[in-house]
Structure 1
Amino acid sequence: MKKFFKITGIALVMCLAIAFITFKVLDKTQSQELQKEEEISSEVEKEQKADELKLNSEETVKGKTTDSSSKEAFERAETSEGHMTFEPPENPTEADIMHIMHLMTHQKVRANKKEGAIRMTPYSLAQVTDLINEVQPPNKKKLLQIVNHWENGNFDNVIEEHNYFWEYEGGKVGKAIGRMTMTEESYFVRKHFYNDDK
């Protein structure tokens, strides 16, 4: 009987030792991952600050749109305040607003295919709000609610919001399947909103 307790005791001590070592290894790995995430986050913040400075100092911006019939209505321009914006259509419609907001979501979502983009900035969001209030579309309340979320930095529902606009426009290819990481968004912004031809 003593032998049984000895063997059980040794086995129990070994199990505890293995559990302790496993816990320490996992804890160390988790700490390293957190440290890497903090470093990446810090780098992205630095890039975003640099991007904002570059955005305010650049004189030209390149852009693309998907709707060839109203291409000029969605071209990006730079105002005297240095804010990127789009040129609102002369006689805006609900479809114009939905298209503009759809292109804005491209900055935030992952999709197999995305065509065109409009930079989502406080200034461009204010422009969209003005368009919504001017046009008074039937879905005004929903659109203003979405813009309000974006103005407050709430992108929890941006995938569903993108797909709402995408479906409205008869989406067949390019359904949003996820949300971009900060790093992915930073890359997207640099790629689509900066003129690298200088």
Structure 2
Amino acid sequence: MKKIIKISGITLACLTLTAALSVGMLEFAKKPVEPKTVEAEETEVIDDVDVPEVILKETINENLEELFPDDMTEKEMQDTIHHMSHGLVQAEQKWGKIEITEDRVERLLWVAEQQQDTYDRGELYIEMLGRWNENDFSNAVADHNKIWDIQDGTIGKANRLLTEAEIEEYTKQNFE
């Protein structure tokens, strides 16, 4: 008799737990999920670090049309902006690096303007590259993180601008 009561109690507990989980899942399923909109977000200032002075060097004897062709895909544009931003921001991990130069930024801006209607986020790239072209890197953290979000990044979110000394060290280690 004790065995039947014990089994009945365990069965009742399992049924109660199953019912509670089912009700909870149904309530959760009723809540609408808002779509992820990267462009609608306001530009956020993530750090209190002074904006470093970034001196862009000019490239010499570089075929920019070959490096960044007129028909660059949107993914290639995203990757290029993302990898260039690595020289400006601090992040736990960074994959990919492309040195930012005056000529490269100008070329990418030109390509983004030409491809604006074919890219889903053409205006975003023009906005970012336009600022960079004016030597304004104050939003580089937000720029990096917007691209990182678009590409569904999970590791390596930027959390602050690099200092001038850190930028010099990054450039020395990766491009000299």
**Taking structure 1 as the reference length, what is the TM-score of the superposition?**
0.54
1:123 is matched with which residue? 103
Amino acid at match of 1:185: I
Query: 1:145 and 1:91, CA in 2 relative to 1: closer, same or farther beyond 3 A?
Result: closer
2:68 is matched with which residue? 88
1:133-172 residue pairs with structure 2 within 5 A?
133-136=113-116, 137-172=119-154
RMSD of aligned alpha carbons: 3.0
User: Which stretches in structure 1 are left out of the alignment for 5+ residues?
Assistant: 1-40, 57-77
Q: Distance in 1 between matches of 2:170 and 2:113?
A: 30
Q: Which has the higher contact order (CA 8 A, sep 6+)?
A: 2
Q: Distance in 2 between matches of 1:148 and 1:102?
A: 15
Q: Which runs of 4+ in 1 moved over 3 A?
A: 83-86
**Taking structure 2 as the reference length, what is the TM-score of the superposition?**
0.60
Q: Distance in 2 between matches of 1:86 and 1:192?
A: 22
Larger helix proportion, structure 1 or 2?
1
State which of 123, 142, 162 in structure 2 corresponds to 1:180.
Answer: 162
Q: Distance in 1 between matches of 2:64 and 2:115?
A: 22
Amino acid at match of 1:172: T
Cα displacement (A) at 1:90: 7.8
**Partner SS for 2:112:** helix
1:1-198 residue pairs with structure 2 within 5 A?
79-80=60-61, 87-88=67-68, 91-136=71-116, 137-194=119-176
User: Which stretches in structure 2 are left out of the alignment for 5+ residues?
Assistant: 1-51
Query: 1:85 and 1:116, CA in 2 relative to 1: closer, same or farther beyond 3 A?
Result: farther
Cα displacement (A) at 1:118: 0.9
Cα displacement (A) at 1:115: 1.3
Query: 1:85 and 1:165, CA in 2 relative to 1: closer, same or farther beyond 3 A?
Result: farther
Deviates more, 1:96-105 or 1:124-133: 124-133
Identity of aligned residues (%): 22
